[in-house]
């Protein structure tokens, strides 16, 4: 099991294939936001029902997490070139999710013309 804090601070990258992202860590996901860069006209889609197979599928390997977003066709095309991002509200795997100090926002960014993903721990998802 890989810590997301260790993976992010050491600069690990993930990758995207169509509507599927691969994260180089494990975490306890509380909510997921998917959307274009914030503006007065756009608001991100918030996924809170992580068990709805029509919206999201999650699987874990020994050292990674794979998430398939069923409502989207090609995440790199839709969110790449700094057009958007995915934000996870998460805690380390096995951490007490009821302790707010354990909860973090992880911003997943899409590189320009690439299938690589970048990760950043942010304080406020409304201040991007």
Helix (H) or strand (E) holding 7, with range, is helix 4-9
Measuring CA to CA, how many Å separate 46 from each of 55, 80, 106? 11, 19, 14
What pLDDT was estimated at residue 29?
95
| pLDDT of the chain, 128 residues: tens digit per residue | 579 999 999 999 999 999 999 999 999 999 999 876 655 556 677 888 888 888 999 999 999 999 999 988 999 888 887 788 899 999 999 999 999 999 999 999 987 667 899 999 998 776 65
* Alpha carbons within 13 A on the beta-carbon side of 122: 18
User: What is 41-52 written as a DSSP string?
Assistant: S---EEE--TT-
Q: Give domain limits for the chain.
A: 4-122
Instruction: Encode 70-92: b = buried (16+ Cβ within 10 Å), e = exposed.
Output: eebeebbebbbeeebbbbbbbbb
pTM score, whole prediction: 0.88
């Amino acid at each position: 099991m890989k810590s997301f804090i260790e993976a992010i601070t050491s600069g690990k990258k993930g990758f995207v294939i169509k509507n599927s992202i691969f994260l180089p860590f494990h975490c306890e996901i509380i909510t997921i936001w998917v959307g274009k860069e914030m503006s007065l006209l756009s608001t991100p889609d918030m996924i809170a029902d992580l068990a709805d197979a029509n919206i999201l599928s999650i699987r874990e390997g020994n050292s990674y997490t794979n998430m398939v977003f069923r409502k989207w066709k090609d995440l790199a095309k839709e969110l790449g070139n700094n057009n958007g991002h995915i934000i996870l509200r998460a805690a380390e795997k096995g951490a007490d999710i009821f302790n707010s100090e354990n909860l973090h926002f992880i911003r997943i960014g899409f590189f320009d013309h690439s299938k690589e993903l970048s990760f950043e721990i942010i304080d406020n998802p409304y201040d991007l």
